[in-house]
Every structure is written in C-alpha cells, then in structure tokens.
Amino acid sequence: MTPSLLIGNWKSNTTFAEAESLIDAAKAAQNATGAEVWVGVTPPFPWLMALRERIQDSNVWIGAQNCSATDMGAYTGEVTASMLKECATFIIVGHSERRAYYGETDEVVREKVARVLEQDLHAVLCVGEVLAQREAGEAEAVVKSQLLAALEGYPEDRLYRLVIAYEPVWAIGTGVAATADDAEEMCAFIRGVLDKRFGDSNHIIIQYGGSANEKNAAELLTKPHVGGLLIGGASLKPEAFAAMIQAAADVAE
C-alpha cells in the first residue's frame, strides 16, 4: 500500500529561526515512526535553499508553495519551477488562496502544472469548493471541473508525479474540518474522476486539507480514499505536526 503523504504548508509564516526548528522537529517526528509515512513541508521561498541542506540526512521532503506559470524571463518577482528544482522536490499548485487572492484561473493553474512537470518535479494540485457551492449541491461539479481543466493534456506516463489535495475552502483556517465521511466521499469522487480521465489512477495520491489537526488526523486517515493530509495551521505547531505523523504511522500499522 502507498504510505500516507503528510505535507505541512507553512504559507507566509515563520522567521528563519522558526523554520529551522520546525524542520528539525519534522525530521525527528518522521524518524520516530515505525511505519512508513511520507512527510513534506513547504516553507516560504527565502528559506528553501538553506533548509534543503538541513534535510539532507532525513526523509523529509521540501516543496514550494507556488511557482510561476512561465519559465525564466523578464517577469519581475516571479519564481520559476526551474529555479525551484534546485531546492524542492514538489510544488503546490492552485491553492485556493492563490485562486482567491491572486486571481489564478484554471488556465493559469494548468500552465503551472506543466512547468512543474517540465522540471520533473511533483505537483500537488489543490481543488475545492467554497461554502455557497457546497450548500447549492455543486461541490462535486466544481471539483470535477477544476480537476479536468488543470489536467487537460496531462501526460499519462507522469501520473506518479501528481498529488491531488481536496481542500474545501470553507474548511481552510476556520477550525471546521470536513467530517471524515465528507472528506472520504469527495476523495472517492475524485478517484472516480481520475480513473475515468486516465484509466487507472492508482499512482496519484489524494489528500484532504482544511483544519486537519492532531485530533482529527487519525479518523481522516482511516478512510480508504484519504491518502494523506495537506496541513496548514497545525503544521506550524511542532507537537501537533508530530502527533499527526504518528497518527498516520499508527493507521498504517
């Protein structure tokens, strides 16, 4: 069975000193698990190169929170996937905060997925509905449309480079996670969409994200279609993140 994949998305948080101690705590927590659990973190851009050195002796992966839709060129302020290849193994693409605050459309998200693949990195593609869409019974249609738009033209021989993170927007940073049953239902739906799109999508891990914490991690991870967690706030608390890694290990055993 594929191990669970837990990713801590630090967003625009941490001083460099805090980042160093968080990464050390993640390394220790990952080392302490008996079962195999895949652990990644996405620090802010300026910390990536230094933290890459700090994870050399561990199995913790470093990723980026975003990348440019273009490759190198006269695009002031943009950070390209080709630059991130020096220090990251995966890149989060299409996070709802990027879509909501920085106007990222499905087309931009698709371009970013393409840039990530060009560099042989892994893409963690985020999808999820807002509350009004869920209440209107449109959650599945929204998620399906985000998925198919972002994965248009996605090469079938690169499925192992793809992770999908189902992050209902109403659950992000609110303290109100989806119930484990709701997360399971949508992750199962996503699996169906991916199977239809690609034939067999077994190589693709599907995560849940949105107020995942040390209290609900075990229940979420017990669900058969929830292959991991994308964790915001709780990943900034070393004990909470460590407890979630341990919960994933316990579920796997």
- Binders of ligand 13P among 128-187, rule CB under 6 A? 167, 172-173
Report the residue from 231, 240, 244, 248 that binds ligand 13P according to the rule CB under 6 A.
Answer: 231
Give the β-pairing of 122-127 and 90-93.
parallel
Tokens 């625009």 sit at which residue? 12
Q: Is 156 one of the annotated active-site residues of the chain?
A: no
Q: What would the DSSP string read from start to end of 168-183?
A: -GGGTTTS-PPPHHHH
Report the residue from 230, 240, 243, 244 that binds ligand 13P according to the rule CB under 6 A.
Answer: 230
Binding mask 40-79 for ligand 13P (x = CB under 6 A): ----------------------------------------
Q: Is 167 one of the annotated active-site residues of the chain?
A: yes
Among 27, 57, 92, CA closest to 241: 27
CB 235 within 8 A of CB 9: yes
Cβ-proximal residues to 179 (8 Å cutoff; 6+ apart), any chain: none
To ligand 13P, the closest distance from the beta carbon of 229 in angstroms equals 8
Q: Which of 104, 167, 184, 214 is catalytic?
A: 167
Cβ-proximal residues to 2 (8 Å cutoff; 6+ apart), any chain: 205, 227
Widest CA span in the chain: 50
- Binders of ligand 13P among 94-113, rule CB under 6 A? 95
Residue 246 token pair: 């341990």
- Binders of ligand 13P among 3-22, rule CB under 6 A? 9
User: Can you state the angle between helices 139-150 and 180-198, rounded to 10 degrees?
Assistant: 40
Among 128, 112, 99, CA closest to 207: 128
Candidates 20-28, 75-83, 102-110, 207-215: pick the segment binding ligand 13P (CB under 6 A).
207-215
Report the residue from 94, 168, 209, 228 that binds ligand 13P according to the rule CB under 6 A.
Answer: 209
To ligand 13P, the closest distance from the beta carbon of 155 in angstroms equals 25
To ligand 13P, the closest distance from the beta carbon of 13 in angstroms equals 10
Residues that bind ligand 13P (CB under 6 A): 9, 95, 167, 172-173, 209-212, 230-234
- Annotated catalytic residues are 95, 167
